[in-house]
Amino acid sequence: MAGARREKSSQSSILGSRIAVAIGIGIVAGCIFAFVFPNGFFSANPPPQSRLLSKSNLEVESVSCESSEKLNLLKSDNMRLSDKNVKLKKQVRELNEKLRLAEQRKDHAREPFIVSSEPQKAGPFGTVKGLRTNPIVVPDETVNPRLAKILAKIAVNKELIVAVANSNVKEMLEVWYTSIKKVGISNYLVVALDDAIVDLCKSNDVPVYQRDPDEAIDSVGKTGGNHAVSALKFRILREFLQLGYGVLLSDVDIVYLQNPFEHLYRDSDVESMSDGHNNMTAYGFNDVFDEPAMGWARYAHTMRIWVYNSGFFYIRPTIPSIELLDRIAGRLAREDAWDQAVFNEELFYPSHPGYVGLHAAKRTMDIYLFMNSKVLFKTVRKDANLKKLKPVIVHVNYHPDKLPRMKAVFEFYVNGKQDALEPFPNGSDWK
């Protein structure tokens, strides 16, 4: 009996232990599940994967809804990028031109000169060089916004050729721009003084600009001859310089055979072709004046140079350049004078009692590259070696029969007709 009770008591003890263990396991499992699934198995929130999938679906729907709007934005971006591409191409052309010019300057052994007001120490003997180039003006587009827009499209490196013309020079103008196109020059502009020239240029795809009405200029521009029109250019050029552009001013009795911008130095305010016919007359010489009555002092030395030609010169946008234009225009308005004479007087007359001279730097162009018609017809065409040279331009300034000589120059240098220059005399038939 006693043994049966001990066995029953032992079984009850084991059962109780198992229940306790089961309860403990359940409590532990409950804690674990409570920790892992704080919101329970049947929470209203979807699992992370479901949330991601739902979000992805929403994004797809959003893209679909916004596709038309994005398409419009892409079209707008494409147009903007196309415009930017055009501007970048222009910048590339300008940079290539600057690189070419930099190499040209290196070939000419020129050095950059920085304008500075700071005191400087003089270097060793033979190494000192003064400042050569005045700084350009600050461009002011308010002077002429319409012209500013035209120049921004046409100019290359802020430079261009400018001619002023009316209907009196129509035939010469046609030869002028035909030769420019043949060379491949793009940065040029005709300032038209009447409607007929505007129509001519537009019909031949020639860049043209007509000023706003100005009675003081229009009255001369529409009816004036060569000299009267030539005098107007000094007033007209002022706006170009104020806008910050370097201008190669050109009469229309000129034939272009090379791009002149490839042969400029740009180290002076004014760089002009000469009326001189050889090295001495073009670049200056010591001329001795003889006055026998002075006895021992009968010989007086003078410096001479033949005048610059006001029909072809490069002018930089500097303060001295603008002062030059103002001086010339002012004098021509007050005096009955020839514009070329005034042009040279203002450039070369020094300061003296009662007069303040112009402080402008000057350079004379190479007479065999920038050739006047006296050099061509009197010397070059008769010299077998000089005939082989190809000038940059030929200016028919010495001869009144301009049009036939311009055509002959074109035939000789462009079309290779070797006898094209022969029929003409050295000078003119005018007495």
pTM, full prediction: 0.72
118-171 confidence digits (pLDDT tens): 788 999 999 998 877 899 999 999 999 999 999 999 999 999 999 999 999 999
What domains sit in the chain, N to C, each tagged with a CATH number?
141-365 (3.90.550), 368-431 (no CATH)
HSE toward the beta carbon, residue 237, CA cutoff 13 A: 35
Cα(361)–Cα(341) distance, rounded to whole angstroms?
18
Q: Cα 209 vs. chain centroid, distance in angstroms?
A: 17
Phi, then psi, of 396 in degrees rounded to 5: -85, 70
For 286, counting Cβ atoms within 10 Å of its Cβ (0-12 exposed, 13-18 middle, 19+ buried), the class is: exposed
- Residue ranges of alpha helices (H) inside 284-318 are none
Residue 43 has pLDDT above 80, yes or no: no
Cα(160)–Cα(189) distance, rounded to whole angstroms?
7
Inter-CA distances, 80 with 85, 152, 196, Å: 9, 19, 38
360-403 confidence digits (pLDDT tens): 999 999 999 999 999 999 999 999 999 999 999 999 999 999 99
Q: Which of 231, 215, 214 is nearest to 336 (CA)?
A: 231
Q: Which residue has the higher pLDDT, 71 or 150?
A: 150
Phi, then psi, of 307 in degrees rounded to 5: -65, 155
Interval 304-323 mean pLDDT: 97
Interval 11-28 mean pLDDT: 59
Tell me the pLDDT band of 97, cut-offs 50, 70 and 90.
low
198-221 confidence digits (pLDDT tens): 999 999 999 999 998 876 666 665
